[in-house]
């Protein structure tokens, strides 16, 4: 299997180079990432349970999908590609916000990412790749918030970070999109 390279960036998301994905996570270098949240018409979020075989955070619940753009790939295309690869969904994605985080994964790996966050809306049921996701479920934001507070160890660190830092515009954007 060929090594997968990711895009190294500065704090303004300007590319500074490229490096193999595992090495980037071992060194904790800032790199570009994508995060996707898919909502259904009941305003529930599609959560993914990561496959146990993943090199970090296996078995934990997370956002619908996430990943890294390849060098020379747009974040929009990367988000669409990962959604299709992981969850078998081909949807129209909407860029919503960007954020940066530096989070230890507990196994010597670090997620130091400049993340581009996208949302999609669909009632289509996912067909996950078992190498990527071993489970999925829809849940309301309120139910997720309660579960996150009661059992944060069940979720990926980046999901805990992005979910708790969703700006007020997120809820407004979601409500407007689902109403329209």
Domain residue ranges in the chain: 5-172
What is the pLDDT confidence band of residue 171, given thresholds at 50, 70 and 90? low
User: Predicted confidence band at 170 (pLDDT cuts at 50, 70, 90)?
Assistant: low
Fold of 5-172: Nucleoside Triphosphate Pyrophosphohydrolase (3.90.79)
pTM over 0.85: yes
- Residue ranges for the binding site? 25, 31, 68, 86, 111, 113
58 φ, ψ (degrees, to nearest 5)? -60, 135
Run of H or E residues at 161: helix 157-164
Q: Is 113 a catalytic residue?
A: yes
Q: Which residues are annotated as a binding site for Mg(2+)?
A: 86
- Which is catalytic among the residues 57, 80, 113, 132? 113
DSSP 72: T
pLDDT tens for each residue of 5-57: 999 999 999 999 999 998 999 999 999 999 999 999 898 999 999 988 887 78
Q: Are 153 and 114 in contact (CB under 8 A)?
A: no
Residue from 155, 106, 112 nearest 25 by CA: 112
Q: Which of 26, 44, 57, 66 is catalytic?
A: 66
């Amino acid at each position: 299997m060929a090594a997968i390279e990711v895009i190294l960036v500065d704090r303004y998301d300007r590319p500074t180079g490229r490096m193999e994905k595992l090495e980037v996570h071992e060194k904790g270098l800032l790199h570009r990432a994508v995060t996707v949240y898919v909502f259904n018409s009941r305003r529930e979020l599609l959560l993914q349970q990561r496959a146990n075989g993943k090199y970090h955070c296996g078995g934990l619940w997370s956002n619908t999908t996430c990943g890294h753009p390849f060098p020379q790939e747009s974040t929009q295309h990367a988000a669409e590609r990962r959604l299709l690869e992981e969850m078998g969904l081909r949807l129209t994605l909407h860029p919503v916000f960007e954020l940066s985080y530096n989070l230890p994964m507990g196994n010597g790996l670090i997620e130091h990412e400049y993340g581009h966050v996208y949302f999609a809306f669909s009632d289509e049921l996912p067909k996950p790749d078992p190498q990527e996701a071993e489970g999925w479920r829809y849940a309301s934001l309120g139910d997720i918030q309660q579960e996150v507070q009661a059992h944060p160890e069940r979720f990926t660190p980046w999901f805990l970070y992005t979910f708790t830092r969703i700006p007020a515009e997120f809820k407004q954007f979601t409500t407007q999109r689902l109403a329209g």
